[in-house]
Every structure is written in structure tokens, then in C-alpha cells.
Structure 1
Amino acid sequence: MSTISCEEPGEAPLRRQPTQRRSARRVERMLDACADLLDEIGYDALSTTRIAERAGVAIGSVYQFFPDKRALTQAVTRRHVEGFVSRIGRRFLLEDYAGWWDAVDAIIDEYVEMHRTVPGFRSLHFGDVVDLNLLDPGSENNTVIAGRLRGLLLQEYGLADSEEFDLAILVAVEAGDAVLKLAFRRDPNGAPEIVAEAKRLIRGYLNRQFARVSA
């Protein structure tokens, strides 16, 4: 069994990094346009031409930084991941939790909030509708996410690191992802009763696994 990596996802999809503030703002407009269009028309109908038109840039500007729509979508997904982890980290700093179980609830709450409010998030989640390896060619998307959340939990709660802990976090992420997708299929805002069940399921599972690992 391989240990989950908590490293940053693989190489960024940008052909080159913007070196000036104006270029960086232009790239952000492209990503905003891509995210909005994903929600409006879906990935199959998405094109670099439509993204350029929505962003108000020349098509050549798109190709200057991104080779195709997949690379743009990959960049949007990476932005989602960084935003998700950053928002969770900020909550961990500002809020007091009785233990890891309340932190898990906060992670789920943040996922639900981003699903409701962040353009492109509901269409991509973390990219699995486009490519299971969108974030990192060597790891499935949820494995990358599990690694990032694992790092946060280890840092905040001093849980014992082990391959068993890695596996428990990965299974919890996969299970939570599946149940929360069900919640949003039932209700565009996330059926609250199913979100509550997701929290109970993950807390119960992790409680049993952490107790077994610590025994």
C-alpha cells in the first residue's frame, strides 16, 4: 500500500507563468470565464473561443498561456483545491473545535458552501467529471485532496501518522464525495438531510478507524 502524498499537485497546466500584473489579471479573467461557462454550458460545449470571448481577450492570449480547454479546466480545478484548503485552514485558525470530529464537520460545511457559491465548483467538484487524474497525472483527484486534508488534520490534532491513517482519510474522502454528490442531485443547494447523513457517516467511520489505529 502506498502512502498518500500531501505534496502539491503536479506541474501547473500553464504554458508559461504570467510575469506582469496585467498578464496575471488576464489569466484570472480566463479562469473566471471558464468557470462561469462550465456552469452554463458544461464541459462538452466549452471551447477556447468561447472562453476568450467571455474573458474579453484575444484567442491568441488564451493560447499564450493554455494549450486547450482541458488545461484551462485543470487550472480552474487547481484554483478550487487551493481555495478549498485555504478556506479550511482559515476556519481552523479562527474557530475552536472540541476535536477532529468538529473539524471534519467544518470541512464538509466548506465543501457545501463552495458548491453553492463558487462558479464552476458544482460542475467540476475536483475535476472528476473531466478526468480522474486532472490534478496530478500520477494520482486520482480524491487521493490528492485526501493528502491535503490529511496534512491539515495531522498538523492541527497531532494524530498518529501511519499507512492505516492514510487509508482511512482516503476512504472518508471517497465516501463523503459520493454522498455529497447525492445531496446535490436531490437539491441544487444540497439536501440538508443528506448532508447531515454524510457528516454522521464520515465521523462514525473515522472514529472507528482512529480508535483501531490508536489501540
Structure 2
Amino acid sequence: MDPVPTSSDQQSRPTLRCMPVQQRSAERLARILDACAEVLDEVGYEELTTRVVALRAGVPIGSVYRFFSNKRALADALAHRNLEVYIARVNEGLGAADPLDWRRALDVVIDVYIGMRRDVAGFSHIDFGVPVPAAGIPDPANHLVADRLCDLLAGRLGQEPDAELRRTFLVAVEAADALLQLAFRTEPSGDRAIIAETKELVRAYLARLLD
């Protein structure tokens, strides 16, 4: 049975003005998101505009507004796509081993993130959430990542996805996120020593529950 979606999982789904039905429409949406990622790498989130994205994608500005009300909605959709790609790559990297060695799983979780940070367009500006949350709304990005990883890994680690495990995953994700941000501020491709220290710290934290 599929896990019951959490409230955070529900929040992870972007609100589009119009859901693509035909393949041509879906391809146009993908082209818009690809263009958004490229423009982010060039000018950053603050200078991102829907008009520039439309020009880069080679579509009328109305095509962008057909799907998105503003640039934040566009960026939210890109963040959602990043999260889906991330979870799929983690799942692929884990392979079919069951039960799963949690230390190996941790390496996969962090290494996939690092790989996307290095190779995926726009990811360094918007990984799983817009860098400037809307006024009065807490940034849910790390909650979303922690919930998705908990749902993906809990059963294969022989754990129940209860409140304690979800809290543990959230703390681990928050700690890893802060340290990996430091690693990429120190070195554009990610400081290897800080990445290694990040893994060591998170391993020590998770061991109390998963060993």
C-alpha cells in the first residue's frame, strides 16, 4: 500500500494555473522550466523575470502565464521538479538491497544532492525551495525533503515512519543542508573536507536511532 501523503507532501505539489494534458503542452512546460533553470544560473533569483524566461524558452509570454501567475510560482514548480528528480535518483542509487545499510543510504542521499548541485542547471539557486519564502510563510523545503526521504527509506531500514523518525530525519536534513551550503560557499564544486565532515556528523546523529 502506498504511504498516506503527509501535509508536507501535499505542499510539495506546485499549483499550476493549467495542468498540461496533451504531450505538446507538457513539452512546452518542460521547456519553460528548463529555461528558468538556465536563466537562474546567469542572473540569480532576484533578477529572474517571466519575460526573460519566455524569451529563452522561445514561447510567447502568455504561454508562461498560462501555467504560472508570477515568477515565484515558476520557481516553485522548478523546485518541485528538482525534488522529484532527486528522490528518483536516490531511489535508483539505493538499488534493490533490502534490508538497507543506513550508512550506505546516507552516502547515496548526500552524494546525489552534491551531484545535482554540481550538474543540474539552476540547482544552486533553487534546489528544493525558493530562496526567499513568501512573507509570513515558513520555508517548507527541508520538511518536504525529510518527509520524502522518510517515506522512501523507513521500511527498508526496518523502521516505522512515526513522528520520532520524521523528526530525526528533519534534524539530519537541516544539519546536512547548512553544512553543504557552507561547503559550496567555500569551494564552487563543494569543499571535499567539509562534505566528509558533514557525512561524519550526520552518521553520528543517526546512529543513536538507527543502530
Q: TM-score with structure 1 length normalisation? A: 0.88
Q: 2: CA distance between counterparts of 1:53 and 1:68?
A: 15
Match of 1:37 among 36, 39, 47: 39
Aligned equivalent of 2:190: 190
Please list the CA deviations of residues 35-70 of structure 1 after superposition, one character each: whole Å capped at 9, or x if unmatched.
111111011111111000000000111111111111
Where does structure 1 differ by over 4 angstroms across 4 or more consecutive aligned residues?
Answer: 94-98
Aligned equivalent of 1:157: 157
Q: Percent identity?
A: 43
Aligned 8 A contact 1:15 1:66 in 2: yes
Please list the CA deviations of residues 121-141 of structure 1 after superposition, one character each: whole Å capped at 9, or x if unmatched.
1111222513279xxx78721
1:41-190 to 2 correspondence within 5 Å?
41-93=43-95, 99-131=101-133, 140-190=140-190
Structure ranking higher on relative contact order (CA contacts 8 Å, 6+ apart): 1
Q: 1: CA distance between counterparts of 2:27 and 2:78?
A: 14
Aligned 8 A contact 2:116 2:123 in 1: yes
What is the Cα deviation at residue 10 of structure 1? Answer: 4.5
What is the Cα deviation at residue 6 of structure 1? Answer: 6.5
Aligned 8 A contact 2:172 2:206 in 1: yes
Task: Give unpaired runs (5+ residues) of structure 2.
Answer: 1-5
Q: 2: CA distance between counterparts of 1:98 and 1:70?
A: 38
Q: Please provide the CA RMSD for this pair.
A: 2.2
Please list the CA deviations of residues 173-201 of structure 1 after superposition, one character each: whole Å capped at 9, or x if unmatched.
00000000000001111001010001000
Q: TM-score with structure 2 length normalisation? A: 0.89
Match of 1:21 among 20, 23, 33: 23
Aligned 8 A contact 1:33 1:55 in 2: yes
Q: 1: CA distance between counterparts of 2:46 and 2:38?
A: 14
Cα distance change of structure 1 residues 5 and 157 upon mapping to structure 2, 3 Å threshold: farther
Q: Which amino acid aligns with 2:171?
A: V
Aligned equivalent of 2:3: none
Q: Which amino acid aligns with 2:38?
A: D
Q: 2: CA distance between counterparts of 1:161 and 1:36?
A: 37
Cα distance change of structure 1 residues 146 and 196 upon mapping to structure 2, 3 Å threshold: same
Please list the CA deviations of residues 6-28 of structure 1 after superposition, one character each: whole Å capped at 9, or x if unmatched.
73435422101111111111111
